[in-house]
């Protein structure tokens, strides 16, 4: 039987030699289109991600870019079309219920809607007790179980615990419900948390508190966190590294400070310039030309090319891979290649920034 969770840092396993805690290579997910034989939605195409112990990786992109699908694939809530998934360098694909239960003890998911993810007819005590018994031992009862529940509530800063433990979800605020959902995930003592837009449905005034809580848990428990968001500003605040997604593919990666302060890909620049600016609302309203492409029939080449004012024939015919532009930074843009027919890098960056600064369409 596992002992109740405590706030003591988890011992570093022998496998922690730089090997990622969780790693996916070539992750792909296609959904069949009902009524159209052979047609599929290219939700995720060839994504590579690594999560290291004690690190936060932000996955940023607009709605429909495939971020939440990736979270569900990593949680193994749906099967992959292609790609490999490794936990500490070992294939982690589950095929039976017992394997899935062992996997979710190490990889837990926090959902976007804290009300929908909690059963409204059960109290906090019941919700956490069930999770504790599943992951820490069904024989856990009485004072020992009560101590484990109180430890979890204290860990997510719901104290005094007596005020919350017998409440129903509708008696809690949105932020308190999300803290209960986080506590339920922590009952498994996981190594990885998959946080699918954990603050997007919360009031602005309490979002920072949830991010600070997750950051504190990362520091104290040395866990890896995948933080999914459409808010690139919060990624800079919270995440160590950021990967930017567009139409099912990763277009830029790197440390969060560099990606947000010196974006290389035209789409990343678009995200930065689309962030709310109370002093320049007109510039925000101008946005970018065009719309995101259909993922049933995505454009050939770079999927951003229909919206990019600097696209060339190369961009429209061949898909760019991530190109190293600095230590730890990669950009999927032909403007950074050494091919003779590539877009001119200076034109891509300088003209893009100049148009936006002068009030034109980025």
Express each pLDDT in 66-116 by its tens digit: 999 999 999 999 999 999 999 999 999 998 888 898 999 999 999 988 888
The 10s digit of each residue's pLDDT in 209-232 is: 999 999 999 999 999 999 999 888
Contact 58, 67 (CB under 8 A): no
Mean pLDDT value of segment 264-278: 79
124-173 pLDDT, tens digit per residue, is 999 999 999 888 877 777 888 999 999 999 999 999 999 999 999 999 99
Report the pLDDT averaged over residues 299-305: 93
**Can you tell me the distance from the alpha carbon of 133 to that of 224, in angstroms, rounded to the nearest whole number?**
24
Q: Strand 329-331's sheet: what is its strand order? A: 107-110, 192-196, 224-229, 56-60, 241-246, 249-255, 329-331, 323-326
Residues contacting 242, CB < 8 A, separation 6+: 57, 58, 59, 60, 232, 235, 236, 253, 254, 255, 256, 259, 260
Structure tokens at 190: 């996981």
* Packed helices 174-186 and 124-136: angle between N→C axes, nearest 10 degrees: 20
Report the alpha-carbon distance of residue 12 to residue 14 in Å, rounded.
7
Locate 321 and state its tokens: 């891979």
Q: What is the average pLDDT across 232-237?
A: 90
d(CA 72, CA 107): 11
Domain count, the chain: 2
Mean pLDDT of 179-198: 95
pLDDT at 290: 64
Q: Please give the pLDDT value at position 345.
A: 57
| CA nearest to 89, candidates 27, 21, 26, 25 | 21
pTM of the model: 0.86
Q: What is the pLDDT of residue 310?
A: 81
Flag whether 332 is in a domain.
Answer: yes
Note whether residue 352 is domain-resident: yes
Q: Is residue 49 part of a domain?
A: no
Domain coverage including residue 322: 262-357
- Does a structural domain hold residue 253? no
Q: Which of 16-20, 99-103, 196-200, 268-272 has the lowest mean pLDDT?
A: 16-20
Q: Give percent above pLDDT 70 in the chain.
A: 85
Q: Residue 290: helix, strand or coil by DSSP?
A: coil
Within-domain flag for 309: yes
Q: Give the pLDDT of residue 65.
A: 92
Q: How confident is the model at residue 5 (pLDDT cuts 50, 70, 90)?
A: very low
Boundary (domain end) residue, out of 180, 196, 212: 180
- pLDDT bracket for residue 10 (50, 70, 90): very low
Sign of CA dihedral 7, 12, 13, 19: positive
Q: According to the model, what pLDDT value does residue 356 have?
A: 46
pLDDT score at 18: 77
**Using CA atoms, how far apart are residues 242 and 123, in angstroms rounded to an integer?**
37
For residue 281, is pLDDT > 50? no
Residue 113 lies in a domain: no
Task: Kindly tell me if the per-residue pLDDT of 14 is higher than 90.
Answer: no
Whether 297 is in a domain gets the answer yes
- 180 has pLDDT over 70: yes
Whether the CB-CB separation of 359 and 283 falls below 8 Å is answered with: yes
Strand partners, 32: 40
The pLDDT value recorded for residue 247 is 94
* Rama region for 290: left / alpha / beta (φ>0; ψ in -120 to 50; rest): left
Residue 266 in domain = yes
Domain final residue pick, 180, 203, 223: 180
Residue at a domain's end among 165, 180, 195: 180
Rounded distance between C-alpha atoms, residue 354 and residue 329, angstroms: 24
Burial (0-12, 13-18, 19+ Cβ within 10 Å), 341 = exposed
Q: How distant is the alpha carbon of residue 361 from its chain centre?
A: 29
């Amino acid at each position: 039987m596992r002992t109740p969770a405590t706030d003591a840092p988890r011992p570093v396993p022998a496998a922690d030699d730089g090997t990622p805690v969780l790693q996916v290579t070539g992750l792909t997910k296609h959904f069949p289109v009902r009524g159209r034989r052979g047609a599929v939605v290219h939700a995720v195409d060839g994504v590579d991600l690594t999560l290291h112990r004690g690190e936060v990786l932000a996955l940023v992109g607009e709605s429909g870019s495939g971020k939440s699908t990736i979270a569900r694939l990593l949680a193994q809530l749906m099967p992959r079309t292609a790609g490999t998934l490794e936990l500490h360098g070992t294939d982690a694909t589950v095929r039976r219920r017992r394997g899935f239960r062992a996997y979710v003890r190490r990889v837990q998911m926090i959902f976007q809607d804290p009300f929908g993810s909690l059963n409204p007819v059960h109290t906090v005590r019941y919700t956490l007790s069930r999770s504790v018994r599943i992951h820490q031992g069904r024989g856990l009862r009485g004072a020992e179980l009560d101590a484990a529940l109180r430890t979890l509530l204290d860990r997510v800063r719901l104290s005094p615990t007596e005020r919350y433990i017998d409440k129903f979800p509708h008696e809690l605020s949105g932020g308190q419900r999300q803290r209960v959902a986080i506590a339920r995930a922590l009952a498994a003592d996981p190594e990885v948390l998959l946080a699918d837009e954990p603050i997007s449905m919360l009031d602005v005034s309490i979002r920072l508190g949830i991010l600070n809580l997750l950051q504190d848990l990362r520091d104290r428990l040395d866990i890896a966190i995948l933080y999914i968001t459409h808010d690139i500003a919060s990624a800079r605040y919270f995440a160590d590294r950021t990967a930017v997604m567009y139409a099912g593919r990763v277009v830029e990666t790197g440390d969060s400070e560099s990606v947000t302060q010196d974006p290389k890909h035209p789409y990343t620049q678009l995200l930065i310039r689309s962030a709310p600016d109370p002093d320049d609302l007109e510039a925000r309203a101008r946005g970018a030309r065009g719309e995101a492409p259909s993922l049933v029939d995505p454009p050939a080449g770079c999927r951003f090319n229909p919206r990019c004012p600097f696209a060339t024939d190369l961009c429209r015919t061949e898909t760019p891979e991530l190109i190293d532009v600095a230590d730890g930074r990669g950009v999927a843009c032909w403007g950074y290649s050494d091919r003779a027919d590539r877009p001119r890098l200076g034109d891509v960056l300088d003209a893009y920034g100049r148009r936006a600064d002068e009030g034109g369409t980025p």
